[in-house]
């Protein structure tokens, strides 16, 4: 039995034996790496939620090509263009339909609490399929009635009682800018960073809510193509045919247009990217302190190895071995804690903060790189170790 244990110990990696020799220090190191991983996971999760939440409506819009104003910055700042461009777009072969959509923000009074909240209002022709949402499609006839809207049940705010009443078939009245509207249906999209919730209604009801808005001033043009036509080719033809007062985008370009705004033109996108970098640097510092302390504690042993003829490459491999062990074991609690925090954040904010395999792999790779960098810095002392100076 003793021989068997000795054989196991002989085959156990030296890096593992050194790390676990001081178990308290080892656990503190794992906690530090887990903390750095949680920082990176949360910042990446918030950044992804920023993009996903602000493009959920874009993804659900039923169109192959979109027309927007050249002055449009994002969905919250669409600006407008003349409706004549939609009629002109019908001249291009392959364009099946060209419908207007009106988008704007307003404050409405929560019918349950009486508090004001920012909502996004989308108005469109109820005779067409503007959104690829089954709940909207099945209830689109309701918004043909005056002052009737559909409400996003996944919005942010205290609307549980109102949603329950609408689910029971009851109509709920709400006040919008001294005008009373009726919530007669529900759909599900979700909150975003720009609005607590979304209302959908007909184009006529939209113009009633915004009396200063002209019907000829369109926020978004929704173009559907006939079967067999390539959106990229038709979009190129539209750019050549239409004037400079309208911008032509495919659906992929329309989504990328929104993401680019949040990533490059807002402070929040930069802050999340900076947070990931800070989490990475925190991890580098923590792991370096652990490995540097471990190297100092075993400096005489390293010097003895060098005196016995072991090369620097072997000693460096031991330190890198420790770095990889720390990266793998520290990732496990970091991932577990982040998974729980994602669920907590999602339930509290209705934002799409979800764990993905790609993000888990990304953070694991970043953790390994983080630990390897720390190991590379810590090994400078090993290389400089002189057996003659140790004894």
Same domain, 125 and 273: no
SS3 state at 107: strand
CA-based radius of gyration for the chain: 30
In-domain check, residue 103 = yes
Q: Which of 29, 37, 32 is nearest to 362 (CA)?
A: 37
Which of 245, 275, 301 is where one domain is finished? 245
Q: What is the pLDDT of residues 92-136, one digit of tens each?
A: 999 999 999 999 988 888 777 777 888 899 999 998 888 988 999
Q: What angle do CA 222, 88, 63 make, to 5 degrees?
A: 15
- pLDDT value, residue 92: 92
In-domain check, residue 257 = no
Same domain, 218 and 277: no
CA dist 47 to 196, 268, 299, 335, 338, Å? Answer: 18, 9, 43, 17, 14
- pLDDT value, residue 93: 92
Same domain, 213 and 178: yes
Which of 196, 215, 245 is where one domain is finished? 245
In-domain check, residue 256 = no
**Token pair for 226:** 């006939």
CA–CA distance, 115 with 386 (Å, rounded to integer): 72
**Token pair for 345:** 């954040």
Q: Which residues have a Cβ under 8 Å from the Cβ of 111 and sit 6 or more positions away? A: 162, 172, 173, 174, 175, 183
Same domain, 352 and 238: no
SS3 state at 313: helix
Same domain, 162 and 229: yes
Same domain, 206 and 167: yes
CA–CA distance, 265 with 269 (Å, rounded to integer): 8
CA–CA distance, 199 with 341 (Å, rounded to integer): 29
In-domain check, residue 386 = yes
Domain count, the chain: 2
Burial of 218 (0-12, 13-18, 19+ CB in 10 A): buried
Same domain, 83 and 126: yes
- pLDDT value, residue 9: 43
In-domain check, residue 347 = yes
Same domain, 294 and 380: yes
In-domain check, residue 64 = no
Same domain, 112 and 165: yes
Same domain, 223 and 333: no
- pLDDT value, residue 197: 86
Which DSSP symbol is given to 66? E
Same domain, 231 and 312: no
Range of the domain at 297: 12-53+267-390
CA dist 116 to 192, 244, 363, Å? Answer: 17, 39, 39
- pLDDT value, residue 305: 67
In-domain check, residue 4 = no
pLDDT < 50 positions in the chain: 1-10
Same domain, 323 and 236: no
Q: Which of 83, 15, 40 is nearest to 355 (CA)?
A: 40
Q: What is the pLDDT of residues 331-384, one digit of tens each?
A: 999 999 999 999 998 888 778 888 989 999 999 999 888 888 887 787 776 666
Does the pTM surpass 0.85? The reply is no
Q: Which of 281, 362, 360, 294 is nearest to 325 (CA)?
A: 294
In-domain check, residue 252 = no
φ/ψ (deg, to 5) at 124 = -155, 170
């Amino acid at each position: 039995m003793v021989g068997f244990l000795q054989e196991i110990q002989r085959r156990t990696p030296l890096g593992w034996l050194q790390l676990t020799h001081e178990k308290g220090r080892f656990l503190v190191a794992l906690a530090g790496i887990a903390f750095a991983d949680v920082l990176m996971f949360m910042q990446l999760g918030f950044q992804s939620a920023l993009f996903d939440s602000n493009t959920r409506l874009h993804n659900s819009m039923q169109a192959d090509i979109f027309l927007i104003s050249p002055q449009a910055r994002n969905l919250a700042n669409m600006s407008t263009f003349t409706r004549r461009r939609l009629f002109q777009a019908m001249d291009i072969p392959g364009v099946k339909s060209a419908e207007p959509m009106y988008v704007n923000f307003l404050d409405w009074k929560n019918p349950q609490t009486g508090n004001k909240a920012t909502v996004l209002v989308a108005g469109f022709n109820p005779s067409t399929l503007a959104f690829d949402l089954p709940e909207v499609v099945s209830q689109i006839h309701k918004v043909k009635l005056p002052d009737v809207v559909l409400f996003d049940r996944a919005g942010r705010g205290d609307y549980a009682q109102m949603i329950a009443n609408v689910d029971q078939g009851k109509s709920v009245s709400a006040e919008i800018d001294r005008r009373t509207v009726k919530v007669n249906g529900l759909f599900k999209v979700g909150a975003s960073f720009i609005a607590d919730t979304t209302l959908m209604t007909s184009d006529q009801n939209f113009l009633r809510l915004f009396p200063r808005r002209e019907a000829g001033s369109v926020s978004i043009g929704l173009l559907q193509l006939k079967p067999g036509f390539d959106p990229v080719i038709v979009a190129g033809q539209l750019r050549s045919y239409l004037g400079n007062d309208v911008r032509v985008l495919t659906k992929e370009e329309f989504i990328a247009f929104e993401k680019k705004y949040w990533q490059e033109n807002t402070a929040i996108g930069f802050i999340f990217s900076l947070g990931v970098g800070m989490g990475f640097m925190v991890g580098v510092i923590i792991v370096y302190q652990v490995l540097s302390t471990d190297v100092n504690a075993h400096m005489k042993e390293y010097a003895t190895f060098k005196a016995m003829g072991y090369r620097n490459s072997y000693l460096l491999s031991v330190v890198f071995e420790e770095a990889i062990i720390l990266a793998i074991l520290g990732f496990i609690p970091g991932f577990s804690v982040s998974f729980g925090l994602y669920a907590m954040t999602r339930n509290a904010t209705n934002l799409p903060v979800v764990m993905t395999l790609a993000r888990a792999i990304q953070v694991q790779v970043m953790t390994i790189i983080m630990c390897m960098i720390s190991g590379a810095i810590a090994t400078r002392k090993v290389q400089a170790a002189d057996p003659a100076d140790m004894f």
